[in-house]
Each structure stands twice: as C-alpha cells, then as structure tokens.
Structure 1
Amino acid sequence: MKIDDTCASDDSCITSCDTGQRLKLLRELAGLSQRELAKRAGLTNSSISTIEQGRVSPSIQSLTRILSALPISLSDFFSFELPLTPASKRANLPAGIDARTLVLPAQSAHAFLVAKGDICGAVLKGELLLLINAQEHRLVQGDTFYIAQNQLFRCANTASQELQIFICSQVSPAF
C-alpha cells in the first residue's frame, strides 16, 4: 500500500505520513538504504521502514537520532516543503521559464526547500551559502550554481551586506 493511499483513508495518520515521506525523501537524497540509515542511527531496519510507510510516528528521541545520521536539524526537517507531484509528471507543467532576481537581506536564510524543477542561477552581488543535500557551497559574485529537480536545498546570506542572485527555472521556485 502506498503512503498516499494510507493517508487518504485515515486523517489521524497525516503527521505520521508526512514524517515518513520527509524521512524517505531525505534518505534517498543522501543515497542511503534503510539498512544503512538504521545502522548510523542505532535503530533497526524495521523501525525506519515502518516510519517511512507512515505506520508509526517516531518519538522525538528516535527522530533526533535518525536526523543526526543524515545530518539535518529537527526544525529544518519539518520546515522544508515536500514536492507536490512526482518527477514523472514534470512534462505536464507549463513550458514557460521563470527568471528573476532575488534579494536576501544580510544574515538571513530561507527554509529548506525541495526543487520542483531544475534551477540554475548566478550570484550578482554578495556571498551565497548554498546547502544542497547537506553539502555546503560558498559562492561569490560571478559564481553560478545548478540545483537538480527534487534536490533538498537552502539559500543563506551569512554576510553583513545584502545578497542578490539571479535564478532561472521552468517551474516557479518557492523562494
């Protein structure tokens, strides 16, 4: 049974399913099997499996252990947006291109997001700290970047001046 089917039939499992979907997405983005994640977190493989299937909600202690193995904080885990459509439905999206300049104030950051489409961009002014799948990339004026569809990412400006970046995508990014 798919997670979505389980959630649709029982409103009480929405939190469990959401947690399970998030965990599965992050585990897959990190390139880990359920067995490897369980080993790193000191849990059983069946624990990871039942959480991902939305059949149980993990305790805060268990979830913290799992997330430290990925690594992602508890607040970041619940703040990123889940993709609404699977990658196979991408062909049905509008063909237009979304291009814009974003300004991030000094000492600010966006919540973790999942790229709904491929995103490319360039730093126009300032310094960008780009986190893609728990890897940090520090970019300065003139540097370019690419974020593949369904990748977990976060943009931050850790400098004392504003940051300007140009982004381009076929799907409007949720910045």
Structure 2
Amino acid sequence: MPAKKAPKSMPYEQGAWAHVFAPRAPGEQRYWLIKSEPDVFSWDDLERAPKRTTCWDSVRNSSARNFMRDGMKKGDLAFYYHSNAEPSGIVGICEIVREGYPDHTAWDPQHDYFDAKSDPGTPTWYMVDVKAVQPFRTMVTLPQLKADPALAEMALIKVGRLSVVPVAAAEWAHICQLGGVSS
C-alpha cells in the first residue's frame, strides 16, 4: 500500500487568499479572527487558562487549517469572536504564540473531533496556540460589523462559516476603534 501523502491545497498564489500566504516583510504582523462558541470556550475561559494561553484545536475545515498551518505566524494578532451567541461578536484580542503544529485531537477516538482518516505520520489537521492580550471595552457585534460599509469586504462577512479567517490591516484598526482599544 503506498504511503499516505500530506494534504495538498491549491497553490496559494492562485487562491482568493493569496495575500495572507505571501512572503512577509521583516517584522510584518498579520491579523486574523478566530471563533469559539462561548459555552464551549469563552474569552473568560482563555483569560483563566494557565498563562492566559491555550491551543486552538479541533478545527475541521481545510481552509481554516491552511490559515493556521501556513498563514499564522508567531506574533500575529487575532480577534476573539464569540459565535452562536446572542449577540455574536468580537470580544477581545489574542496573540499567536505558537505556529501551526499537528492537532492531536484528531487521533483521539474519545474526542468529539476524532478523525479516523487522519494519520499522525501525515497529519491532516493543525492547531496554533493563542494567548489573551486584551478584552474589548465594548463588544463589536455581528450586526454592527455587517452594517458598517468599511467592513463590507471583510472575510467574516463574505465567508462567515469559517472558524479562522484573515483580517485586513485597515479592518483591524477600524474594529479596534469600535471595540474601544488601541490597534
């Protein structure tokens, strides 16, 4: 039986998100948005975690995986978004403190996100570690984001189903202002 190959993606320079995979200038920081349901793992849970840090595991979407595996770098910042909440919205900022590495939950048959097809020798799923940086003074809700013309092209609005999406620098600055924090 031939060896299993690692998952492939379209060459990044041809995809809609090519800019988030492009080579970086020295010291360049990029921005992201990560989602969690607050009853699963909330912003408060992240702040209570040891060293205010946790692994961002159990993502089972290939686009979101690619962002974590190949796009996110140590020192990048991410909005922490509460999804499936009333209201849903951005509640804080976290930092990527460990770059993409294999998501061990895929190999645990007892875990809700076990993937029998994932092989530790050629991992399918990846995760990053995130650290709480700063809560928003004011939650920026999904209705606010959708109603704001400055955010009409935001990945969260265009492709809302992804649990990890890139955020443009101008969007980042604008949302930080809405949330009452400095960018």
With structure 1 as the length reference, what TM-score do the two structures score?
Answer: 0.28
- Normalized against structure 2, the TM-score is what? 0.27
Higher relative contact order (Cα pairs below 8 Å, separated by 6+ residues):
2
Instruction: Determine which structure has the larger helix proportion and give its number.
Output: 1
Larger radius of gyration: 1
